[in-house]
Amino acid sequence: MIRTLFILPLLGILLSAWLPVASDAGVQMTYMLNVKFRCDNGNTVPGYSVYVVGGRAEIGNWDVTKAVKLSPTAYPTWTGTVRFTGANPGDSLEWKCIIRNENNPSDVQTWQPGANNQVTMAFMPEPESTGKF
């Protein structure tokens, strides 16, 4: 009992001394958030696959040569999960599906038509976003 009474105030003093240092040091949380992407009707020919490209470095910053290849899960539906570092819950992301040559990354056969897709980053549930050719 005496040890408990001595340790609790000591922990409180240590914690109260540490908190101002942490806040003054500009401690900032960095999150890693996943997004599940799905592209429907991605009809391809041999040598071409479906990729996701968009407005963050993890999916190429709109550079098709840096797009992320998806997997044909139930052809012609393609899916994949991308982890975003430094994203915050509530951040919005714009993206599109493309059909691109696997060996010549600048050879884009088809862009998804219409407006960009949008997804909002979150911890749970893990966001899912679908585009369609």
Gap between the Cα atoms of 131 and 133, Å rounded: 7
Q: Which residues contact 67 (CB under 8 A, 6 or more apart)?
A: 51, 52, 53, 59, 60, 98, 100, 105
User: CATH 2.60.120.430: does it fit domain 32-132?
Assistant: no
pLDDT of residue 100: 98
pLDDT of residue 26: 67
Domains of the chain, residue spans: 32-132
Name the CA dihedral angle for 106, 110, 113, 118, rounded to a multiple of 10 degrees: -50
pLDDT of residue 27: 66
pLDDT along the chain (133 residues), means of 10: 46 40 58 96 98 98 98 97 95 98 98 98 95 98
pLDDT of residue 73: 94
